[in-house]
Amino acid sequence: MTPIEWLSFAVGLVIVIGTSISVIKTLVVPRRAWSFLPHVVESSVTWLFMTIARRMRSYDLLDRFLGFLGPIVLIFTLLVWLAMFVIGFALMLAPSARDFPGALGQSGASTFTLGITGTVAGSGTAISVAASATGLIVIALTIAYLPALYGVVSRRETLARQLGAHVGVQPWGPNVLLQYHGTGAIDRLPELYSDWDQWANEVADGHTKYPVLNRFRLPRARCHWLVSLVAVLDAAGLDVSLRPSMAAGEARMFLRSATACADDLAASLRISETLDHETVTEAEFAAVVALLTDAGYPVERLSGEAWPVFREWRARYGMASNRILDTIAAPPARWSGSRSLPAKGHRA
C-alpha cells in the first residue's frame, strides 16, 4: 500500500476504535463514563429543542414538544455511531477497493448487514465481516439498552404519581404535611420519607449511568418527578425544623440521601454553578408556619427559632434543585425557583 493508503487505513482504524470505546462506555460499562460522541449529540439536540421551545407561549405545548427530546437523543446517538463506523470501515477498505465511493458503499452495506456489494480481495473481506459484526452488535446492544432505560423511567415515576394522587399533581412541601395531618396519617410520614429515601438512591444511580434520563418526561405535563422530590424534601425540612422531638430519623436520612441525589443529577447535567440566592424567604417560611399552626399541626418551635434550621437544610439541596428544574424545563411550582422557558397557563 502507498503511504496515503496506509494513512487512510490508520485513520479509519482510529475512528472504529474510538467509536467502539464510545459504545462500550455508554451501553456496557456499569458506571458513569463520559463519552464525547453521545455528549455532542445530546448537547446539540437539546440546544435545538430548547431554542424552539423558547418561542412557545404555552407550557403544555412546550412539554408535549420536549417529550420527544429524550427519544430523539437516543435515535441520533445510534445513527451517529453507525455513521462513524461506516466512515471508519470505508477508510479501512479504501486501499483494497481502490475507490472511496465504492469502499463507502461496501462499508455501509456490511455495517447494516445488507450483504457485500462488491468483491474485495484479501484483508478487505475480513474488514467487511468485521463491519457486519460491529453493526449487529451495536444495534443489539441498543435494543437491550432501551428496556433498562424505560425500566428506570417507570420506577422513577411511581412515587411521583402516588404523591400526586395524595396531595395533588403539583405537590408543595407544606401541603404534603397538611394533607397527611388532615387525613390522620401524620404517623405515616416516616414511611413516606423512607420510601423517598430509597427512591432517591435509585434515581441517583440510574441518572448517573444514563444522563439522557433527565430528558424523559411523564405523559402528564404537570406531574413531574423532580418537583415531587423537592416537595417531599421541603416537607422533611419543615418537619425536622418545627418538631425536632417528633420528626423521625427517616426524615434526616432522607434529606441527606436526596441532597446527594440532587448533586448527582447536577453532575449528570454538567451543572457546576448554583443560584446566588435562595427562593424561600423568612417571611414565606413564617407564613407557612402560621398556616400549619392554624391547621393544628403539632409545631414545637416558633418560626424565628425554626427558620435557621430549615434554611440550613434547604441550602444543601434547594439551589441545585432549582437549577436542575430550570435546565430540564420542569413545570412551574411553588418554592422551586423560576423558569427560563415559557410558563404561561401554569396552575401552580
- Listing DSSP states for 231-270 in one string gives HHHHHHHHHHHH-TTTS-HHHHHHHHHHHHHHHHHHHHTT
340 domain residue, yes or no: no
319 and 177 in one domain? Answer: yes
List for the chain the helix, strand, coil content (%; round to 5): 70, 0, 30
- Any domain includes 117: yes
Are 222 and 136 contained in the same domain?
no
* Mean pLDDT over the full length of the chain: 85
Give the pLDDT confidence score for residue 348 in this predicted structure. Answer: 39
Look at residue 346 in the predicted model and tell me its pLDDT. Answer: 43
Residues 203, 117, single domain; the answer is no
Q: At what angle do helices 249-268 and 303-327 cross, to 10 degrees?
A: 30
Mean pLDDT on 48-56: 90
Mean pLDDT of 141-163: 84
Contacts of 282 (CB under 8 A, 6+ apart): 303, 307, 311
Do 86 and 108 contact (CB within 8 A), yes or no? yes
- Asked whether 106 and 93 are in contact (CB, 8 A), the reply is yes
Number of structural domains in the chain: 2
Domain that holds residue 127: 3-143
| 173 and 69 within one domain | no
- Is the same domain home to 128 and 186? no
Q: Which pLDDT band holds residue 336 (cuts at 50, 70, 90)?
A: confident
pLDDT at residue 46 in the model:
92
Non-local CB neighbours of 263 within 8 Å, separated by 6+ positions: 320
What amino acid is encoded at 190 in this protein?
Answer: P
Measured in residues, the chain has a length of 348
* Residue 286, domain member (yes or no): yes
Task: Determine, yes or no, domain membership for 19.
Answer: yes
Q: Given pLDDT bands bounded at 50, 70 and 90, which one contains residue 273?
A: low
Mean pLDDT throughout 94-113?
80
- The answer on 120 and 246 residing in a single domain is no
Residue 256 has pLDDT above 90, yes or no: yes
Kindly state whether residues 192 and 304 are assigned to the same domain: yes
Read off the pLDDT band of 119 (50, 70, 90). Answer: low
Are 115 and 200 contained in the same domain?
A: no
Domain membership flag for residue 292 = yes
Cα 60 to its chain centre, rounded Å, is: 20
